A and B are shown apart, each in its own frame.
Chain A
């Protein structure tokens, strides 16, 4: 367990690209959005909630931990199985912290800005996904589960790149996006998937669905880890 936790700590501390991208977007895109809104003086006074930019962090970690840290951890004496376990341990706390910050910001800064008349509304995924309707605690759990799903998907998709099944998966994703809209049953399947992952009225179902899909996706990542060249 020490080794797995140690690897997770290394991933948190030494995944600079992920932190850099998420940090730049958070620190630059948010204020830039606000400045543009001030300069152009839009009639619609809605702004993207600041903490929404942080959602990028779990996804970036899901990409850059396997892409950049895998080989380096192996050269430090790490084992593949430990990497497999530690990656999830890397993502889950980050998802929880981002989700928590997002909920706190939603309840404080965003509401204050609306109440003070600065803006009409803060565009927040927590509201768009209707998570906040279940209360702050449930919303936190729902967003955490959804972010875990997003980071696991990024993790697995990154690991399978460069392998034949990675290319097949990429092609299938593109094909699905292009084909789902015109083909009614496929469109229905996609709608059902996102309804379960995001919009289901029962929070417990949405959380369990996200965690189940995350577990399945994460398990798939053991296949490329097992055979990844080193």
Chain B
């Protein structure tokens, strides 16, 4: 469905994506994580055909993506997207005018659930509501692939919860591939099915969320016991306090023991451990 083949994207002397390859072949919610400047937005824009890759190829349903050959299947929403300053009803109508697959009923239903005032002009909305309106246009677009770049930026916690519920519901109703880039990690973890982690323009990890649940955990106890139990395992981070040691592991499970405790690692801790640099010792 989506294929990145050795994509490199340079902005002058800065390389945003470096020999990036990835294949996505089934619908679902994909969580795209990376630190600031890791290349997340560049990746999404390249897929949407908004910027060209310096080298390599991107295909959607086996068709090459280009600036003048933007894939019909893809809808990209970025933070702070400029829209026509018209009433939201008119904005939805405008979206329907250029996209025959636009689902007006769905858009109005979502707007009602999000308590969006459809009589307001776009510029009269708060920052969060503007983001919501743009995201609703994407969700109602009927496109197969939705790229949401920081969609919940500016949302309050209640709105974020409603948003993720709706995203989940929407994907359950019609099979859609949604790639969500966000920094609010633990909330996306509840709905995401696949995880893509990008670091310095390169693919760091692409796996199922269940795999993370299974393989990412922390081991805490006396330093010598923890060190012995985790020897040979992939340690992605550690903290020390007195004689106690906590190690964050991404590997097979250790055997249970009363000498140390094993607990699940949140996606945020896992992400920080994975891309936050070398093992962190406090």
Contacts and interface: CB of A to CB of B under 8 A. Distances in A.
Interface of A: 2-3, 6-7, 9-10, 14, 69, 71-82, 84, 222, 225-227, 229-230
Nearest to B134: A75
Contacts of B95: 76-77
Contacts of A225: 68
Given A77-B137, A77-B143, A79-B70, A3 B99 contact: yes
12 contacts: A3-B100, A6-B98, A73-B98, A74-B50, A75-B77, A76-B94, A77-B98, A77-B102, A80-B70, A81-B69, A84-B68, A225-B68
Contacts of A73: 98
Given A76-B83, A77-B141, A6 B77 contact: no
A6 B97 contact: yes
Contact of A227 (B67, B83, B91, B134): B67
A185 B95 CA distance: 52
B45 interface: yes
Nearest to B81: A75
Contacts of B134: 75
Contact of A72 (B72, B84, B141): B84
B94 A14 contact: yes
Contacts of B143: 77
Contacts of A78: 98
Nearest to A228: B67
Contacts of A75: 77-78, 81-83, 134, 137
Ranked nearest first, the 8 interchain pairs of A and B with the lowest CB-CB distance are A6-B97, A75-B81, A230-B50, A6-B98, A79-B70, A76-B95, A226-B67, A77-B99
B51 interface: yes
Contact of B97 (A10, A80, A226): A10
B70 A9 contact: no
Given A75-B77, A226-B68, A230-B45, 13 more contacts: A3-B100, A10-B94, A10-B97, A14-B84, A75-B78, A75-B81, A75-B83, A77-B99, A77-B137, A77-B138, A77-B141, A80-B49, A225-B68
Contacts of B223: none
A143 to B, nearest CB: 30
Interface string B17-58: 000000000000000000000000000010001111000000
A69 B102 CA distance: 20
Given A72-B83, A75-B134, A77-B137, A230 B51 contact: yes
Interface string B85-128: 01000010011011110100000000000000000000000000
Contacts of A7: 97-98
Nearest to A9: B97
Given A76-B94, A229-B51, A2 B100 contact: yes
Contact of B68 (A3, A74, A80): A80
A222 B68 CA distance: 9
Interface in B59-75: 67-70, 72, 75
Contacts of A72: 82-84
Which of A72, A82, A225, A229 has the most chain B CB within a 10 Å cutoff? A72
B86 A14 contact: yes
A227 B66 CA distance: 10
Contacts of A222: 68
Contacts of A10: 84, 94, 97-98
Contacts of B77: 75
